[in-house]
Amino acid sequence: MAARTFLTMFNEAKEKEHFFSFKHLICAIGFLTPDKRLKAPLNYSQSLSEIVENSKESIVRNLCLNPTLEKIPAFETSMLKDLVTFCVSKDYSDNDLAQCLFLMHVGKTDCHKLDENKAFSFFCNCFGNFRSIDTQFDITQNELFVELKSIFSILMSTKAFTDAINNSIDKIVVPKANTGQFNFQNLKLIFFSSKFRTIYGYSGKDRLYVNVVPIFESLEKHVSEEQKILVIKLNFIRLIVHEASHVLLRFKLDDLNLSSPFLDGQIKGGKVFKNIKECGFETEKEFFKGCIDWDASMGRSINLSYCKEYLDKILNGVLVDFDISLANVFSLNIENFHSSGFSIRLEPDLYML
Ligand SMILES: [Zn+2]
């Protein structure tokens, strides 16, 4: 219903050569009534093509629920044309699936600490470039991606690793008798190219999407080859830990459109024990004893031998406590962090993706 109203209002604005305002859409669909301010859940068990088809309602409602979008006065209709094309399309491809999950996360990005211009740029960038997400990236063009893929396979078949992710989510989700165990062997790693520089990745149904652009940028850094490769691998492991825990949370609560910290409804429903700022960060803390900004740590005097030893242990299926101060890496205070459905690299200009 929200998606249909969006298309009608967009076409009207386009015909009259007016700007499009989410605020008007929010009024039109009655989102100003508190009990109507609800996200549209997307059952985890649906087929992939059903997810793409049914995601459109969730995407539009997520955008309408974003308090910043409500305040942004208006968009030129040309800025939203790809979003509209996506919403009316009946097609299904791997790229459509990746793009639909990306769009679902856009509306859930908290921009309240940004000034209006930056928030506007963030949304324009997302709406203008989401079609650049291309999952046909050929990993054989660079040996590093082949290595990362094999690291992923090792992690997914290491019980200590998957147990640690399960334990982290078990602290959040109330166990339910008929929810099966998530099979990490079914989790697919998908590298994608895009025009987004600072999005590390995001998750979907049984899928982890990893953006190759920040990895290529890390390869350009002026630090030793050894440090570069080591940091890229450890940051990749961090990303897998983070996004795999999102997959597990959504699987257990049977909603692909679910995001922490918006679990209040689930608490009332008795499905989760507590609200959390970000389940991906909670799981990172279990692994690394903090949320490490590996990119910002590059170039500092990282204790390479310690980090290398830690990586070797992980790749041999041994999980040991990570010592941030011994490693001499930089960790983030996630309380200062904007919550987002993506895993993003913090830059001074935070949301210039
Ligand atoms: Zn996250």
pLDDT, tens only, 25-44: 988 887 656 556 677 888 88
For residue 84, the CA-to-ligand 1 centroid distance in Å is: 27
For residue 339, the CA-to-ligand 1 centroid distance in Å is: 7
pLDDT value of residue 274: 63
For residue 126, the CA-to-ligand 1 centroid distance in Å is: 17
For residue 96, the CA-to-ligand 1 centroid distance in Å is: 21
pLDDT value of residue 352: 44
Distance between CA atoms of residues 120 and 66, nearest Å: 12
- The dihedral built from the CA positions of residue 201, 133, 249 and 273, taken in this order, carries a sign that is positive
Tell me the percentage of the chain whose pLDDT exceeds 90. 61
| pLDDT tens digit sequence for 91-134 | 999 999 999 999 999 988 888 777 888 889 889 999 999 999 99
Lowest mean pLDDT among 155-159, 261-265, 341-345: 261-265
Q: Domains of the chain: which residue ranges?
A: 2-132, 139-344
What pTM was estimated for this model as a whole?
0.93
For residue 353, the CA-to-ligand 1 centroid distance in Å is: 16
Tell me the backbone φ, ψ of residue 257, rounded to 5 degrees: -95, 15
Q: At residue 263, does pLDDT exceed 80?
A: no
For residue 145, the CA-to-ligand 1 centroid distance in Å is: 22
Query: Residue 110: left (phi > 0), alpha (psi -120 to 50), or beta?
Result: beta
Q: How far is CA 38 from CA 52, 102, 304, in A?
A: 20, 20, 48
